[in-house]
Amino acid sequence: MSRFAAPIAEQIWDMKYRFKEADGTPIDMSVEDSWRRIARSLASVEKDAERWEETFFEALEDFKYLPAGRITAGAGTARSVTLFNCFVMGTVPDSMSGIFDMLKEAALTMQQGGGIGYDFSTIRPKGAIVHGVAADASGPLSFMDVWDAMCRTIMSAGSRRGAMMATMRCDHPDVEQFIAAKSDSARLRMFNLSVLVTDPFMEAVKADGSWDLKFDGKVYHTVKARDLWNKIMKATYDYAEPGVIFIDRINEANNLNYVEQIAATNPCGEQPLPPYGACLLGSINLARLVTDPFTDAAEIDDAALETLVATAVRMMDNVVDASRFPLPEQEEEAQNKRRIGLGVTGLADALLMKGLRYGSEEAAAQTEDWLHRIARASYLASVELAKEKGAFPLFDAEKYLASGNMMNMDEDVREAIRTHGIRNALLTSIAPTGTISLYAGNVSSGIEPVFAYAYKRKVLQKDGTRTEEEVVDYAVQMWRDLKGDAELPDYFVNAQTLDPQDHVRMQAAAQKWIDSSISKTINCPEDISFEAFKDVYMQAYETGCKGCTTYRPNDVTGSVLSVSEEKKAAPEAVATPAAEPNQPHGDVIYMAEPLDRPQALEGQTYKLKWPDSEHAIYLTINDIIVGGHRRPFEVFINSKNMEHYAWTVALTRMISAVFRRGGDVSFVVEELKAVFDPRGGAWVQGKYIPSILAAIGGVIERHLIATGFLEGEGMGLKTDPQAKVVGLDAPRGKACPSCGQFSMMMVEGCMTCSSCGHSKCG
C-alpha cells in the first residue's frame, strides 16, 4: 500500500527527491528507500550508527518530520551539493576588488544550490568620490545588476538555481533607488529585495520627523521619515517588493548578539544570519500528529511531540557534520555556532482538525502553545546533546542566557543550559515548505492558511491520454473520509477570505517562540486602501514581528488565487495549440506566458540527410532548465538548398514560439511526424518516413527523449505539462514556468506552484 496520501505527493517525490542515476534510472525504488537513504546518511556521524538510523527512519516515516528539500534530495547521494538551505555571504567591501571577490564566492555557493543573502548597504552611494581614480562611484544598485547577471548565468549553465536576497538600510543614501528598483520589470529579477528598517526610523515615522540618509558618517540627504516610509509602502503595494525587515528587533532578539551582528537574511527572510552564516531547515508536520481529528478530543500528544522534536534536532545537528560547504568560511561559521532551523508545517490543517478558525484569537493562542512546546522540547534536546557531544564552541553561559530570546525562555530550560550548556545556538525557524508540503500529502504550508481546499489538474499519462486529477487539501480529505459528504463547517477559511489582520495575528503569535524568524505572506485584497495597507505593516511592527511580507494581487503582480464567493464572468478563452478534441464549452485551456531567454543555452545540432536532396538539413535544438528539468526552448533549421529557405525559416520561428510558451509541447513532434508528402516519402535507416517534415519531427523527438523531456518514442511527457482551470470558482494564478499550470501563488514570501512545487526561491 502506498505511503503517499495523494497522487501529487508521489509525483513530487519522483520529480524532486527521488535519487536517480544521471540517465534518470531510479535508485530509490520507493519512498521508504528515500527515508532509509536520509536516515543512514545522517546517522553515519554517530558512534552507534545502526541504532540512530532506525530512530531517524521512524521520524521520517509517514512524513512526520520533513527535512528541507536539500537534505531530502541530497543526503546519502555522495553528490557535491550542500545540505544547507540558507547562506548570508561575507560583508561586501567598498572596493572594486573586494566586490568581485564576493561575486566569486556567491557563484560558488549558488553552484552547489545554496540560496544567498547580501547586505549592499556597505557599498558607497552613487556619485560618491572614489579617491585615486578620479571618478564617481556607480553605487550599490549597479553592482546588484552584476550579481543578477551572475545568477542568470549559473541558471543557464544547468545548475539548480539558488535565490538571492538583497537588503539595504533605511538610512543609506541610495535607499530610494533601491525601493524603486522593481518598478522596472526587467531589472533584478533574480533578487528578492528588503529594506532594513530600524527602530529610530519607525519612531521618526510615527512622529513625522526628519531622517538623515548617510554613509561613512557623511549626511548626503535629509528627508521626511514618513515620506520615505510611504515610498516603501507604495512600492510594495504596487509591486509586492521590497519587503520590510525590522533589523534592530532581529539583533536584539538574537541569542548570539554578544558575538555577531546581523544585517541580512536568506532569500525568504526566515533566517537572519551574520556574515558567512549558514542554516539548515526542517519541519515538524503538525497535520500528521493530531489524534481524534474533528472531535472534541482532538489534540497533539505532548510525549509524541517531544520525542519527534528531539529526534529532529539530533538529525539536524548531524547535518552540520555531514554536509559539504561551498566555502571554508561557511563551514567554520556553521561549526562554531551549530545553528539549525526547526519549524512546522501543516499548522492550518492541524487547527482545522481541532475545529479552530485560522486567524481567530483561539487559533493564535493554540499556535503559541504548540510552538512553545516545540521550543521547550528543542532547547532541552539540544541540552542533552551538549551533555553527550559538547556545547557549541562559542557558548558562554552567562552571556548566552542574558541575550536575545533566552531572556524569555522558561526558567527550568535556562537552568539546564546554565548547568550543561547547549549544542545549538539557535534552534527554531519557520521556513517556506511549499514543495515538501505537497510531498507530505498536500498539507497546508508552514504557518500559512489553506490556499485552496481542492482544485483540478490534468495529468498526461504514458499512453498519451490525459486524466483529470483532483488535488485536495490534507485536512479536507480527512474530513471527507470521516464525514462523507457533510458540508465543511464555517471555520474552514482560506487565504483569500481572511482579513490581513488575521494573518498578522498568527505571525505575531508564532514569533514569540521562534528564535530566528518566519517566512509568511500576508494576503491583502486587491481593493484594500493604501492607508489600510500601511496599517498592516504598522500592526506587524507593534505586535513583535521581525519582518513583514504582503501580497496584493493587481495588474502588475498578477491575480493569484482569485477565489471568490460569487461566480464571475468567464475569462476570455485563449487559443492553444494543444487543444484536445471534444472539449466541453465551459473548459478553458490557458496558454502559458513566454519563458524568458537566458543569454546562453545548451543544445545539440543534428544532421538530417534526406534521400535525393543535394544538401543536408541541420537542426539545432537549444534547451532551457526549468524546475530542475531540461525542456526545449528553440529550434534553428538550416539548409544550403534555397528551395528550403522559406519553409525552414517559417518552421524555425513557429516551433520556437511554441516551445517558449512552455507546458506540453509534445504535440509539435506528433503533428510533424503525421505530415505526408503527396510526392512520396523515403526509407531512412530502414524505416519509412512519410515526408521531410516528418523526418524533422523524428529528430526533435529523439532529442526530447535524450534530454528526458519525453518518456519515449510516441509517448507522453515525463511530468505533468500544464493544467486546465476547471470551474469558474477554481483558483487561478500565473502560469508556472516549470509545469505550465496556472497555480503560481505567493507562499511564505515566494512565488510557488501548488501543482509541481516549482519555486522562484529555488
Task: Count CB-CB contacts under 10 A for residue 96.
Answer: 11
pLDDT surpassing 90 at residue 481: yes
Instruction: Please state, for a pLDDT cut of 70, what percent of the chain lies above it.
Output: 86
Closest CA to 113 of 155, 162, 163: 162
Q: Decide which of 79 and 749 is more confident.
A: 79
Q: Decide which of 463 and 284 is more confident.
A: 284
Give me the pLDDT at residue 760, please.
64
Q: Decide which of 574 and 749 is more confident.
A: 749
Q: Which of 706, 737, 754 delimits the end of a domain?
A: 706
* Residue 656 contacts residue 634 (beta carbons within 8 Å): yes
Q: What is the 3-state secondary structure (H, E, C) of 469-525?
A: EEEECHHHHHHHHHHCCCCCCCCCCCCCCCCHHHHHHHHHHHHCCCCCCECCCEECC
Tens digits of residue pLDDT in 341-391? 999 999 999 999 999 999 999 999 999 999 999 999 999 999 999 999 999
Banded pLDDT at 728 (limits 50, 70, 90): very low
Question: What are phi and psi for residue 309, nearest 5 degrees?
Answer: -60, -45
Render 309-325 in DSSP notation, one character per residue: HHHHHHHHHHHHHH-B-
* Residue 443 contacts residue 349 (beta carbons within 8 Å): yes
Question: What are phi and psi for residue 618, nearest 5 degrees?
Answer: -110, 130
Which range has the worst mean pLDDT, 33-37, 168-172, 541-545, 661-665?
661-665
Give me the pLDDT at residue 567, please.
33
Q: Residue 436: inside a domain, yes or no?
A: no
Q: Decide which of 191 and 572 is more confident.
A: 191
pLDDT, mean of residues 573-581: 29
- Which class for 207: exposed (0-12), middle (13-18), buried (19 or more C-beta within 10 A)? exposed
pLDDT, mean of residues 178-184: 92
Give me the pLDDT at residue 598, please.
76
Residue 279: active-site member: no
Catalytic residue among 53, 105, 260, 270: 270
Number of domains in the chain: 2
Banded pLDDT at 754 (limits 50, 70, 90): low
Give me the pLDDT at residue 457, please.
75
Render 650-685 in DSSP notation, one character per residue: HHHHHHHHHHTT-S--THHHHHHHT---TT--EEET
The number of angstroms, rounded, from the C-alpha of 304 to the middle of its chain's C-alpha atoms is 29
Residue 531: active-site member: no
Question: Which of 400-404, 629-633, 654-658 has the highest average model confidence (pLDDT)?
Answer: 400-404
Give me the pLDDT at residue 404, please.
87
Catalytic residue among 251, 266, 424, 494: 266
Task: Count CB-CB contacts under 10 A for residue 282.
Answer: 27
**What's the rounded Cα separation, in Å, for the pair 283 and 346?**
9
Q: Residue 546: inside a domain, yes or no?
A: no
pLDDT, mean of residues 181-197: 90
Q: Residue 223: inside a domain, yes or no?
A: yes
Task: Output the nine-digit C-alpha cell for 584.
Answer: 466541453
pLDDT surpassing 70 at residue 736: no
Task: Count CB-CB contacts under 10 A for residue 614.
Answer: 9
Give me the pLDDT at residue 658, please.
87
Tens digits of residue pLDDT in 593-602? 566 677 788 8
Give me the pLDDT at residue 629, please.
76
Residue 545: active-site member: no
Q: Residue 112: inside a domain, yes or no?
A: yes
Which range has the worst mean pLDDT, 36-40, 459-463, 529-533?
459-463
Q: Residue 617: inside a domain, yes or no?
A: yes
pLDDT surpassing 70 at residue 75: yes
Does residue 696 sit in helix, strand or coil? helix
Tens digits of residue pLDDT in 2-12? 799 888 899 89
pLDDT, mean of residues 651-668: 84
pLDDT surpassing 50 at residue 583: no
Closest CA to 195 of 276, 133, 140: 140
pLDDT surpassing 60 at residue 492: yes
pLDDT, mean of residues 650-678: 83
Q: Residue 735: inside a domain, yes or no?
A: no
pLDDT surpassing 90 at residue 490: yes
Q: Residue 586: inside a domain, yes or no?
A: no
pLDDT, mean of residues 627-639: 84
Give me the pLDDT at residue 343, please.
97
Q: Residue 309: inside a domain, yes or no?
A: no
Q: Which of 691, 706, 721 delimits the end of a domain?
A: 706
Residues 6+ positions from 44 with CB-CB distance below 8 Å: 322
Q: Which of 677, 706, 735 delimits the end of a domain?
A: 706
Question: What are phi and psi for residue 413, nearest 5 degrees?
Answer: -70, -45
**What's the rounded Cα separation, in Å, for the pair 720 and 716?**
9
Task: Specify the DSSP element, H or E, that contains 344.
Answer: strand 340-345
**What's the rounded Cα separation, in Å, for the pair 729 and 384?**
52
pLDDT surpassing 50 at residue 572: no
Banded pLDDT at 72 (limits 50, 70, 90): very high
Task: Output the nine-digit C-alpha cell for 101.
Answer: 571577490
**What's the rounded Cα separation, in Å, for the pair 614 and 611?**
8
* Residue 195 contacts residue 168 (beta carbons within 8 Å): yes
Sign of the four-CA dihedral 200, 202, 208, 213: positive
Structural domain including 618 reads 602-706
